[in-house]
A and B are shown apart, each in its own frame.
Chain A
Amino acid sequence: MFGNLQILYAAPMLNLQLIIDGVLIGAIFALAAYGLALVWGVMNVKNLAQGDFVILGGYIAWYAQKTWGIHPIVMMPAVMVILFIFGWLLYITIIRLVINRDLFTSLLATFGLGLVIQQALNLAFGPEVQVATSGLETRTFFAGLQIAEIKVISLVLCSVLALIIILFMKRSRMGQAIRATSQDARAARIMGIDTDKVYAFTFSLNSAICGAAGVLIAMTWNIQPFYGITYSIRSFVIVTAAGLGNLPGVIIAALGLGAAEQYGGFILGLELQVAFLLIMLLGVLGYRQIQMAKLRQVVQ
């Protein structure tokens, strides 16, 4: 560990490299996390299948490239549409039934859903690791700084998607309805908003966003039926750190998490990279708990 710190000290450019690597990959995490924040904030459903939606999106893009030779980026809108419909079907068949139940019912339902998606992907495509290729290069800049083009494109696409989502939530009728429902579902219903439709739309929008993240993951890293869980955990870390309904917070937390993970992996070793993630989750939860305790005292 100290050896690794020494390397960082001896090669300052490496710090910059790790931060860039982390921020670029963090942009993809931001997408999945924002979807989770949406579902959590609006429907109060903590979707444990979040990561599996991401992987599912990746598989669709990979399959389309393998069978029809469609470039994953071109395929991205189609993946989003497919996952939107998939999300809608899930809402009608499963989520609608658990949305008003207690926390554990929705946790169990989405956890089960995650297992079903994993095993279905495993049965359909086997347990091998798959990669979608972007055909793009890695560029080397001054002082050996390397940036993969695909990661930059991911960042741009993520930003564009985030912008569209923000505008959609602010400007469109559906966006307003979603925000109204998240503030007070009952009042929204009284005002004539069809909250059931809002829920269905929110859940579908989330799975579409996850699908987009999955396409990018398949091109930058790789996908395997059982990789979903780490993306679920990352989404939870980011959302708990940033708070619900706080998109700028989600983006900053995601980019920070990306960089922190790269540092964690570098300094503590790869084996602790995911552990580092979980420790951060614990840290954030602990911090929030202390914050809440303070708030409670003020009320007293």
Chain B
Amino acid sequence: MHTLFKSTIAIAGMTAISLLSANTAHAKVDGDTITLGSAISFTGKYSTNGIHAKNGYDLAIKKINEAGGVKVAGKSYKLKVKYYDDESTPARTAQLLERLVKQDGIKFFLGPYSSATTKAAAPIIEKYKVPMVEAEGASRSLFTKGYRYLFAVLSTSEQYLASAIALAAELAPKIGKKATDIKVAMVFENDPFSLDVRAGVVEDIKRFGMKIVIDDKMPRDLSDISPTLRKVQAVKPDVLVISGHSKGAATAARQIKELKIDVPMIAMTHCEAAKIVKKFAGAVDDFLCPTQWAETLSYKDKMFGSASEYDKLFKATYKGYKNVPYQSAQASAAVQVWKDALQRANSFDPKKVRDALSATNMKSFYGGIKFAKAGNNIAKPMVLRQIQNGKFVVVAPSKWASHPVNFPRKPKN
């Protein structure tokens, strides 16, 4: 019995030691390496975009390390990311972040993919006072809770389709109407992101005094929106706005084609992700699609060069990409923010680094980055692209537009 007790203590002691050593091995700064942590979706429903984001993170890290790394207090450090797979489940994201902080001793974080998982991550980040720069959670609600350690490089979700409403107001005379006569039909998925998009749209509709004639919400597992589209045929709105991630976009595009829906302006999110041009060529011409970033924009920085140079580098690094998803571009930008902030903080103290992040004001290939007090990026607008002859071209805001907008749309079915 006595020996058993002794051996138990010995085993317990050894486990404790090995745990401790494991801890130091993954500490945030080890030798000349700074380790960032991220729980992101490699499996489950967000896996495709999760991997796009990871590729973006990795590309920026490779580029930064090649260019000499990050200089803090006169010493050069290499960057590294410790990833865990959150299986696209918010609860898992939260668990894994606890683990990254408590077991792996990581103090600096990159975001997960999606608003839902970022929402689960934010309270953990706040609890341990460790800063996170996220690139994939756009929900407005992330920036209304007073989080101090969460920073986002992307434009928030309520801006996604609001610009389409402004554009409709501007173009109304072309179909012989006043802005206040414009009738809008809305179809939004019933999830936090899409409802944020909707809130932005509704706000702008009110601002211009337009009328909402259809306001339907898609459930998560719906592959048929034809009842709503039949309504559209009956009430003949001037603008149709749709947002429901890529499955909503694919469903809508397919049925708009099948039911030959003819509305002067159709705007929807996730056109690129749903590959609607490839799947429904012709029928989706003149759709308006908002995007966080496009390779044709004239943003540039020292590290990646211009947006189009980033595009080329990304395609050369990762095989199989025909277009670079904006999810990857913004992920790369988040890593750039880390480099910039760590260098300005000149310290590894999470509080000092947080203050440096908060004072970020930089130009990048992804656009300007300057954080509001709530942590969202206020220096970069959403751009609106139109599908013209099967190609995405920027049509608004006018400062970045490369082509005039086609209105009313003339689909080639």
Contact = CB atoms under 8 A, between A and B. Distances in A.
A78 B154 CA distance: 47
B235 interface: yes
A14 B231 CA distance: 9
Interface stretch (B12-20, B201-209, B214-222, B376-384): B214-222
Given A7-B231, A226-B45, A265-B224, A270 B219 contact: yes
Interface stretch (A17-25, A86-94, A100-108): A17-25
A14 B230 contact: yes
B231 A222 contact: no
Contacts of B224: 25, 221, 265, 273
B47 A221 contact: no
A300 interface: no
Interface residues of A, number: 42
Among B218, B219, B222, B223, which residue has the most Cβ atoms of chain A within 10 A? B223
Nearest to B225: A270
B44 interface: yes
B218 A270 contact: yes
Interface stretch (A40-48, A119-127, A187-195, A284-292): A119-127
A291 B257 CA distance: 45
Interface stretch (B132-140, B244-252, B285-293, B392-400): B244-252
B223 A271 contact: no
Contacts of A266: 227-228, 230-231
Contacts of B180: none
Contacts of A18: 227, 230
Contact of A270 (B216, B260, B274): B216
B187 interface: yes
A159 interface: no
Given A128-B246, A129-B251, A262 B227 contact: yes
Interface string A71-100: 000000000000000000000000000000
B226 interface: yes
A266 B214 CA distance: 11
B254 interface: yes
B181 interface: no
Contact of B221 (A25, A217, A230): A230
A222 B250 contact: yes
Nearest to A269: B216
A240 interface: no
B256 to A, nearest CB: 11
B221 A227 contact: yes
A246 interface: no
B46 A221 contact: no
Given A7-B231, A222-B250, A271-B218, A122 B225 contact: no
Contact of B247 (A126, A148, A222, A264): A222
B222 A126 contact: no
Given A133-B279, A138-B258, A128 B223 contact: no
Contacts of A229: 221
Interface residues of B, number: 37
B198 to A, nearest CB: 12
A11 interface: yes
A154 to B, nearest CB: 13
A4 to B, nearest CB: 7
A204 interface: no
Contacts of A169: none
Interface in B272-291: 273-275, 279
Contacts of B223: 129, 217, 221-224, 227, 230
Interface in A156-213: none
B260 A146 contact: yes
B4 interface: no
A138 B260 contact: yes
A56 B393 CA distance: 37
Contact of A148 (B46, B235, B258): B258
B47 A274 contact: no
A131 interface: yes
A146 B250 CA distance: 21
A269 B217 CA distance: 7
A223 B48 CA distance: 16
B347 interface: no
A297 interface: no
A67 interface: no
A128 B259 CA distance: 23
A4 B233 CA distance: 13
Contact of B228 (A123, A127, A144, A270): A270
Contacts of A265: 224-228
B95 interface: no
Given A122-B44, A140-B260, A222-B251, A4 B231 contact: yes
B234 interface: yes
Given A122-B47, A131-B279, A17 B251 contact: no
Interface string A7-39: 100110010011001000100000000000000
A128 B254 CA distance: 14
Contact of B45 (A127, A140, A230, A264): A127
22 contacts: A7-B234, A11-B234, A21-B226, A25-B224, A128-B48, A129-B247, A138-B260, A221-B223, A222-B247, A222-B251, A223-B223, A227-B221, A227-B223, A230-B221, A230-B222, A262-B227, A265-B225, A265-B226, A270-B225, A271-B190, A273-B222, A273-B227
Interface of B: 43-48, 187, 190, 216-219, 221-228, 230-231, 233-235, 246-247, 250-251, 254, 258-260, 273-275, 279
* Nearest 7 CB-CB pairings of A with B: A265-B227, A271-B217, A266-B227, A129-B247, A129-B250, A221-B223, A127-B45
